[in-house]
Amino acid sequence: MIYTLIIVVAIWFMYTRFGSAKNVKSLRDEDFRNEMKHNPTLMLIDVREPHEFQGGYIPDAKNIPLSQLSQRFSEIPKDRKLLLYCRSGMRSGKAGGILMKQGYTQLAHLQGGIDAWKGKVSK
């Protein structure tokens, strides 16, 4: 019984810590690129840390690390569609959840992160 409880608590912790928000749309690489192509007013946000961003990023992305997100809401317009990405999709999903709680509604993130990206990368 105690082992079952420990497992349930561990799963809950992992989900709440690392799981993306349910209502944040998850886009595959092709769909993400199509959104970028057909919506010139959107804002592309890379939520990785600055040293990761410097190693390569999707062109036109703004680097707002997840660790600084709550201090930088003023840089993120609520009236534009936001596309988020990170390395693997975990942090961008978490960032989407944080933004939703702040009233942002037009959100999507790159499933698999930049690791799944097949488009151009700038350095």
Tokens of 51: 């040293």
Rounded Cα–Cα distance for residues 51 and 53 (Å) = 5
| Residues whose CB falls within 8 Å of the CB of residue 107, separated by 6 or more in sequence, listed in order | 24, 25, 81, 82, 84, 96, 99, 100
Looking at the annotation, which residues are catalytic? Answer: 86
DSSP label of 20: P
**For residues 91 and 37, what is the distance between their CA atoms, to the nearest angstrom?**
24
